[in-house]
Chains A and B, each alone.
Chain A
Amino acid sequence: MRGFVRLIVLLGLALVFVAAAYALLVYQPPFAPIPQPQRQSFDPALVARGAQLAAIGSCGVCHTAPSGREFAGGLPLPTPFGTIYSTNITPDHDTGIGAWSLAAFERALRRGVRRDGVYLYPAFPYDHFTLVSDDDAKALYAFLMTREPVRATAPAPRLPFPLNHRLVMYGWNLLFLKPGPFKPDPAHDAIYNRGAYLAEGLGHCGSCHTPRNIFGAEKADEKYSGGEAEGWSAYAINASSPAPVPWTAATLLQYLRHGFNSDHGVARGPMLDVAGNLGTAPNDDLHALSTYIAAQIGTPAAPTPQVEQQVAVQGARGKAVAAASADSQAVPAQGSGASDGGDEGALIYAATCSGCHSGPRAAPFGGIDFALSSNINGPSAKNLVNVVLNGLPATEGKRAPIMPGFANAMDDRQVAALARYLRTRFTDKPAWTDIESSLTDARTALRASEGKPGRSSAAGSTRPGTG
């Protein structure tokens, strides 16, 4: 009997302990709704600064659905755990953030907790935004609260148990959220530290460029060694960068500003939208960002002779006259890609790709020379397969590269033969092992997108039915 009482007492104590822990640690109080702030109450200079910061954070890339209103949310974000939909961050009182105070906004940004106290999922990169300074948070708030309110409710996330319970994110935050503010590294100068603040914080480069662990958190010890985003492979931007010509701060600056650099080719996939946003950022910020990322990549060993030769050819291409086109389209020398079904791939390359990719037109009007391509030199065939199938669809209202897709003209065997050939001919890297799985994924995404309005960035929702 005494044992029974003791058990009851112990259970009661445990319950009290759990309740106290919940109240003290897990529970997040709601912020009271505020009347929607008047536009005129925000300093125009602060709003303008907020616009630049929102571009650096690429807020609109995720918070805008295909053919949807800007910042109104609703974009499906596929994750390994399920699909999450971006939310409405326009200042609509009922469905957006119109009722959010600055304090509520800052908590969401830096701690991943909604105004009503509900935990957000880290598909929203608050693990990066936690570093955003007070001044920058204020400017972002001013910018978002002065956008046009749009009435739109995002679909509920589709996640399995136990992830459908948002409280689980308390544990995730405990393990993986390293709260800010940003601490500058005294070993580096102000520009480097400014770049670090932007890249690690608002820019959230690591969200795509760092691989994730089984909990979906970035692996701290593999920072910037390449990740995945929306069906695309995001290249390593540290010492293992696959770029045949090493990146420099100057080439990065041009790439981020214009979405293009002649040593590296064009931004596409989700990076096209990111570059489109960064292109509007102030030069000082972009310069700092490029300086920091270039330092992460470092200065690798001299390029291989193969690349040096290609760079020389690339340089000559710009000066070549149109008459060269007949030669440049000739079938490459027999045997250059003889291993692994190279002959069919060689024919496909020569007949389909070389007209633009080794023709007389200088980049960006001609395609990238594949010897320079991070894609062909990278560890995954994913991006190549995406581009061959979907091409680079024209982007609405923006200047951007174009390429027709070959999803309907080439069957999987032909795409695979082409991929194997390009890998053998233009690199000395080992054969890809993910060509077939990339094809399956890209075809599935393409079928799912049929009949839906185009969005250039995601392989899963590109315009259907291009040649």
Chain B
Amino acid sequence: MKLNVNKAQHDVDADPHTPLLYVLRDDLKLNAAKFGCGLGQCGACTVLVNGEPVFSCVTPIALLEGKAITTLEGLGTEDKPAPIQQAFIEAQAAQCGYCIPGMMMRAQALLQKNPRASDAEIRAWLEPNLCRCGTHMRILRAIHRAQRIMTTAQRGEAG
């Protein structure tokens, strides 16, 4: 079946029951999303579908025909990181790093809709994603930094 991942059409030869995470990692070699719990309870596998966060480990590709899937690889590259990636690098938000792609994707979904989200809104929004190293304060700092990058860039573009 056809999947639209990071703005490119991919012909995927997989059973429609296959979780999106397996297709991303095994077939498309997009390894940013991680396998954590496999139950949609930790958020390490979070990617965007039509701009909204989903747990790719419990989302069969049968549900995704015609929908736009975005992974961390679709936001920016090592040479040209997206604001959220740049902010996480600058804030050194990763400890072991396993939860970070999921954290970035969920935060990205919020900031796309509301770049000026309050601290309370960010905390509530990120509730489903777990970090076992306890780097939550750095993650929050990185997201606030990303907000600054995004809003100043937008201001720059506007005039």
A78 to B154, CA, bound (A): 39
Q: Please choose the segment from B22-30, B117-125, B132-140, B141-149 that sits at the chain A interface, where 4 or more of its residues have CB less than 8 A away.
A: B117-125
A404 to B19, CA, bound (A): 14
User: Which of chain A's residues have a CB closer than 8 A to the CB of B55?
Assistant: 404, 409, 466-467
Using C-beta atoms within 8 Å of the partner chain, give the interface range for chain B. 20 to 34
The smallest C-beta distance from B128 to any residue of chain A, in angstroms, reads 5
| Contact assessment for B125 and A451 in the assembled complex, using a CB-CB cutoff below 8 Å | yes
| Contact assessment for B17 and A350 in the assembled complex, using a CB-CB cutoff below 8 Å | yes
A241 to B132, CA, bound (A): 44
Q: Find A351's partner among B40, B63, B67, B106 (CB 8 Å cutoff).
A: B63
The smallest C-beta distance from B54 to any residue of chain A, in angstroms, reads 4
* Interface majority SS (helix, strand, loop, mixed), chain B: mixed
Residue in B closest to A411 when the chains form the complex, CB atoms: B67
| Contact assessment for B117 and A408 in the assembled complex, using a CB-CB cutoff below 8 Å | no
User: Which of chain B's residues have a CB closer than 8 A to the CB of A351?
Assistant: 16-17, 60, 62-63
User: Which of chain B's residues have a CB closer than 8 A to the CB of A409?
Assistant: 49, 54-55, 59, 63-64
The smallest C-beta distance from B101 to any residue of chain A, in angstroms, reads 15
> Cβ of A26 < 8 Å from any Cβ of B?
no
A465 to B47, CA, bound (A): 12
User: Which of chain B's residues have a CB closer than 8 A to the CB of A307?
Assistant: none
| Contact assessment for A352 and B63 in the assembled complex, using a CB-CB cutoff below 8 Å | yes
| Contact assessment for B117 and A463 in the assembled complex, using a CB-CB cutoff below 8 Å | no
| Contact assessment for A391 and B40 in the assembled complex, using a CB-CB cutoff below 8 Å | yes
User: Which of chain B's residues have a CB closer than 8 A to the CB of A348?
Assistant: 62-63
A21 to B57, CA, bound (A): 68
The smallest C-beta distance from A390 to any residue of chain B, in angstroms, reads 12
| Contact assessment for A394 and B41 in the assembled complex, using a CB-CB cutoff below 8 Å | yes
| Contact assessment for A453 and B62 in the assembled complex, using a CB-CB cutoff below 8 Å | no
A403 to B63, CA, bound (A): 18
A residues 357-406 touching B (CB-CB < 8 Å): 391, 393-394, 402-404, 406
| Contact assessment for B127 and A463 in the assembled complex, using a CB-CB cutoff below 8 Å | yes
Q: Find A452's partner among B40, B54, B58, B124 (CB 8 Å cutoff).
A: B124
The smallest C-beta distance from A174 to any residue of chain B, in angstroms, reads 44
A409 to B59, CA, bound (A): 7
User: Which of chain A's residues have a CB closer than 8 A to the CB of B49?
Assistant: 408-409
Using C-beta atoms within 8 Å of the partner chain, give the interface range for chain A. 20 to 34
| Contact assessment for B16 and A347 in the assembled complex, using a CB-CB cutoff below 8 Å | yes
User: Which of chain A's residues have a CB closer than 8 A to the CB of B127?
Assistant: 453-454, 463
| Contact assessment for B59 and A451 in the assembled complex, using a CB-CB cutoff below 8 Å | no
Residue in B closest to A466 when the chains form the complex, CB atoms: B128
> Cβ of A259 < 8 Å from any Cβ of B?
no
Residue in A closest to B19 when the chains form the complex, CB atoms: A351
A408 to B16, CA, bound (A): 18
User: Which of chain B's residues have a CB closer than 8 A to the CB of A466?
Assistant: 40, 55, 128
> Cβ of A464 < 8 Å from any Cβ of B?
yes
| Contact assessment for B117 and A451 in the assembled complex, using a CB-CB cutoff below 8 Å | yes
* Interface majority SS (helix, strand, loop, mixed), chain A: loop
Centre residue among B59, B106, B128 by max chain A CB count within 10 A: B128
A351 to B59, CA, bound (A): 8
| Contact assessment for A465 and B53 in the assembled complex, using a CB-CB cutoff below 8 Å | yes
| Contact assessment for A347 and B62 in the assembled complex, using a CB-CB cutoff below 8 Å | yes
B residues 9-62 touching A (CB-CB < 8 Å): 16-17, 39-41, 46, 49-50, 52-56, 58-60, 62
User: Which of chain A's residues have a CB closer than 8 A to the CB of B120?
Assistant: 451, 453
Residue in A closest to B59 when the chains form the complex, CB atoms: A409
Residue in B closest to A452 when the chains form the complex, CB atoms: B124
> Cβ of A299 < 8 Å from any Cβ of B?
no
| Contact assessment for A467 and B63 in the assembled complex, using a CB-CB cutoff below 8 Å | no
User: Which of chain A's residues have a CB closer than 8 A to the CB of B75?
Assistant: none
A393 to B60, CA, bound (A): 20
Residue in B closest to A451 when the chains form the complex, CB atoms: B121
User: Which of chain B's residues have a CB closer than 8 A to the CB of A453?
Assistant: 120, 124, 127
A406 to B53, CA, bound (A): 10
A404 to B50, CA, bound (A): 18
> A465 and B39 in contact (CB under 8 A), knowing A350-B17, A408-B53?
no
User: Which of chain A's residues have a CB closer than 8 A to the CB of B64?
Assistant: 409
List 9 other contacts, CB 8 Å, given A350-B17, A391-B40: A352-B60, A408-B53, A409-B54, A464-B124, A465-B52, A465-B110, A465-B125, A465-B128, A466-B55
A sample of 15 inter-chain contacts (CB < 8 A) reads A347-B16, A348-B62, A348-B63, A350-B17, A352-B62, A391-B40, A403-B40, A408-B50, A451-B117, A451-B120, A451-B125, A452-B124, A463-B128, A465-B106, A467-B56
A residues lining the B interface (CB < 8 Å): 329, 347-348, 350-352, 391, 393-394, 402-404, 406-411, 414, 450-454, 463-467
B residues lining the A interface (CB < 8 Å): 16-17, 39-41, 46, 49-50, 52-56, 58-60, 62-64, 67, 106, 109-110, 114, 117-118, 120-121, 124-125, 127-128
Q: What 5 pairs across the A-B complex have the smallest Cβ distances?
A: A404-B40, A467-B55, A351-B60, A408-B52, A451-B121
